[in-house]
Amino acid sequence: MSATLETDEHKALRAAVAQLGRRYGREYLTKAVAEGRHPGELWAEAAKLGYLGVNLPEEYGGGGGGITELAIVLEELGAAGCPLLMMVVSPAICGTVIARFGTEEQKRTWLPGIADGSRTMAFGITEPDAGSNSHRITTTARRDGTDWVLSGRKVFISGVDIADATLVVARTETVPDKEGHTGRLKPCLFVVPRDAEGFQRHGIDMELQAPEKQFELVLDDVRLPADALVGDEDAGLLQLFAGLNPERIMTAAFAIGMGRYALARAVGYAKDRTVWQAPIGAHQAIAHPLAQSHIELELACLMTQKAAHLYDTGDDIGAGEAANMAKYAAAEACVKAVDQAVHTLGGNGLTREYGLASLITASRVARIAPVSREMILNFVSHQTLGLPKSY
Ligand SMILES: Cc1cc2nc3c(=O)[nH]c(=O)nc-3n(C[C@H](O)[C@H](O)[C@H](O)COP(=O)(O)OP(=O)(O)OC[C@H]3O[C@@H](n4cnc5c(N)ncnc54)[C@H](O)[C@@H]3O)c2cc1C
């Protein structure tokens, strides 16, 4: 990206991460996927260079930057063909929530490890019977003496196998009204260690060629000490959104990186492949959609920078709207760029050798998660335009 709004430090960070990304590249990631393992070497090196914890406070081993810098890191790794999806979760959501709302003890326990890559945390909010309607989640946290006891189910939770713990969103037990409703969501966040008793995970067979795996989780009376609760029991949605806005901004960066990677591959191919007198890139039917994708990715990048800037300057409300818009724009630009890239390669677009076809599935992730395209359109319809709700 030309990223004209960026400081010299940001440009230098982009260049340095891009160099790291090029050293690993797509082949490295494809090999990790084939071997069914986490891209641990890249994760460790990115951490060592200070990239994974760039958004975390310096006093806890981080770089003292913000989501702006972390998004640059993820975008550039993605543009080099080796994105690290767990960056969306571990430093961006979990790191942010713990840095903003955790106790001193929680910060000391988790943040240095998240920053240096030695510890990873997954994040679980999605439930099978709630889906996009997170007000409907039923995972419940019950007090028992000073302990908490968690019961419920989660689905599509990424990276639980490699994470030391999962930050689980539950609701505190509330007495249902006469109709059986438990009222609006009052979410609470709990650190659930990977091997906690009663915490089970089952891999979901995804049609995705990615090193990060998704899991269904069962919490069967998982007993946790009082200090497993992160933040205030009554802080509710504000605290949760402190983590979810970075998640959206980082998903936008993930999508822009993937879109840029696909576009670059297509442009390279279109410059060389010649089946008439001139390379296929001279035909406007090939050139214009690629140019359009470049423009759309650039626009999405601008929106992502705006969202990250608002978030980093403490405007949680403004960041909420901008992060949703950035995620929407980036996902749509990514899906289109990948589609056009595959098309540009003709039959080669569908071969394993060229490796672009698998991005068709991968690019859809950003349209669905962490909040779907339709839920963002709902948000803008209701919150921005003041239109009435259908649900
Ligand atoms: C690869 C991957 C990784 C993921 N990782 C995580 C993770 O680490 N942690 C986590 O908590 N979750 C994770 N998720 C879950 C993800 O956030 C959910 O899939 C997403 O929120 C959508 O929920 P759902 O799948 O239940 O779809 P549903 O809510 O069932 O929606 C299905 C369709 O209906 C549409 N829809 C629903 N309601 C409305 C409405 N009111 N108006 C219009 N359309 C509507 C949706 O837009 C969508 O197209 C992951 C998902 C994927 C695919």
pLDDT digits (tens, 9 = 90+) for 286-304: 999 999 999 999 999 999 9
Overall average pLDDT of the 39-53 stretch: 98
Residue 107 reports pLDDT greater than 50: yes
Atom of ligand 1 at shortest range from CA of 122: 8
CATH number at 30 reads: 1.10.540.10
Residue 364 and residue 269 share a domain: yes
Please choose, from the candidates 183, 175, 158, 61, the residue with its C-alpha nearest in 3D space to the C-alpha of residue 118. 61
Q: Given ligand 1 and candidates 214, 364, 368, which is best to mutate, with the most ligand atoms within 8 Å of its CB?
A: 368
Determine the longest span between alpha carbons in the chain, in angstroms: 79
What would the pLDDT profile of 303-355 be if each residue is shown by its tens digit? 999 999 999 999 999 999 999 999 999 999 999 999 999 999 999 999 999 99
The residue written with tokens 């009376």 in the block is 221
Taking the centre of ligand 1 as the mean of its atom positions, its distance from the CA of residue 64, in whole angstroms, is 32
Q: What is the C-alpha separation between 355 and 309, in angstroms, rounded?
A: 34
Residue 50 and residue 141 share a domain: no
Q: Please tell me if the CB atom of residue 132 comes closer than 6 angstroms to any atom of ligand 1.
A: yes
Residue 114 and residue 38 share a domain: yes
Q: What is the C-alpha separation between 382 and 387, in angstroms, rounded?
A: 5
Residue 189 and residue 259 share a domain: no
CATH number at 283 reads: 1.20.140.10
Looking at the domain assignment, is residue 71 inside a domain? yes
Taking the centre of ligand 1 as the mean of its atom positions, its distance from the CA of residue 275, in whole angstroms, is 43
Q: Please tell me if the CB atom of residue 368 comes closer than 6 angstroms to any atom of ligand 1.
A: yes
Residue 165 and residue 226 share a domain: yes
Residue 183 and residue 85 share a domain: no
Residue 2 reports pLDDT greater than 50: no
Average pLDDT, the chain: 95
Q: Please tell me if the CB atom of residue 391 comes closer than 6 angstroms to any atom of ligand 1.
A: yes
CATH number at 219 reads: 2.40.110.10
Residue 144 and residue 109 share a domain: no
What would the pLDDT profile of 194-228 be if each residue is shown by its tens digit? 999 999 999 999 999 999 999 999 999 999 999 99
Taking the centre of ligand 1 as the mean of its atom positions, its distance from the CA of residue 133, in whole angstroms, is 9
Looking at the domain assignment, is residue 2 inside a domain? no
Residue 1 reports pLDDT greater than 60: no
Taking the centre of ligand 1 as the mean of its atom positions, its distance from the CA of residue 372, in whole angstroms, is 6
Residue 255, phi then psi, degrees to nearest 5? -70, -40
Please choose, from the candidates 188, 286, 175, the residue with its C-alpha nearest in 3D space to the C-alpha of residue 237. 188
Q: What is the pLDDT of residue 179?
A: 64
pTM of the entire structure? Answer: 0.96
Residue 358 and residue 256 share a domain: yes
Residue 216 and residue 131 share a domain: yes
Residue 320 and residue 190 share a domain: no
Residue 241 and residue 373 share a domain: yes
Q: Provide the residue range defining the domain that includes 190.
A: 123-230
Q: What is the pLDDT of residue 181?
A: 59
Among 172, 199, 230, residue at a domain's last position: 230
Contact 55, 94 (CB under 8 A): no
